[in-house]
Amino acid sequence: MTTINPYLIFNGNCEEAFLFYQSVFGGEFPYMGKFKDMPPSDDPNCLPPSEEEGNRVMHVCLPIGNTVLMGSDSTSQSGDVPPFGGNFSVSVNADSTAEADHIFNGLSDGGNIFMPMQKTFWGAYFGMFADKFGVHWMVNFDEMPK
């Protein structure tokens, strides 16, 4: 079966963001690699990363249920990414209202809440916010399973 996994790109604070996400969801990182860990390139036009960029995250992944949240930092070669959230949100479906509250309260800490967790007319317990890194999230618990 095909799966889709969100891949978030940061401007130098990917490791901080993923440690924060890990504090909410739990789990372990199967891999977190830095740009300094890459082998040298044979391409003479490809310069080794600066010390600052070498410490940026090249790739990280955090399994959450059947999904893998992945991320990396931008580099001077790729350029900074624009602010998050303009055209997407990461949607999390919880197994209970308690789990939804735990995820919502953990991830929204220091962020900007757009819609607090509440019962909705469509039968869900739902809330939306941007976390302190600017990533937009939606947390949902279907109180009336189909």
The rounded distance, in Å, linking the Cα atoms of 38 and 123 is 48
Q: Decide if pLDDT at 122 tops 90.
A: no
Count of structural domains, the chain: 2
Interval 14-56: pLDDT, tens: 999 999 999 999 999 999 999 888 887 777 777 777 888 889 9
Q: Are residues 25 and 55 both part of a single domain?
A: yes
Q: Could you tell me the residue range of the domain that residue 38 belongs to?
A: 1-79
Q: Is 12 left (phi over 0), alpha (psi -120 to 50) or beta?
A: left
Q: At 53, which CATH number?
A: 3.30.720.100
Q: Are residues 103 and 54 both part of a single domain?
A: no
Q: Are residues 116 and 145 both part of a single domain?
A: yes
The last residue of one of the domains, among 53, 79, 105, is: 79
Please give the full DSSP string across 10-62, using - where no structure is assigned: ESS-HHHHHHHHHHHH----SEEEEGGGSPPPS-TT-PPPPHHHHTSEEEEEE
Interval 71-114: pLDDT, tens: 999 888 777 887 765 667 899 999 999 999 999 999 999 999 99
Q: Decide if pLDDT at 128 tops 70.
A: yes
Q: Are residues 56 and 89 both part of a single domain?
A: no
Q: Output the pTM of the full model.
A: 0.82
Q: Decide if pLDDT at 119 tops 80.
A: yes
Q: Are residues 26 and 61 both part of a single domain?
A: yes
Question: Which tokens is 32 given?
Answer: 């977190």
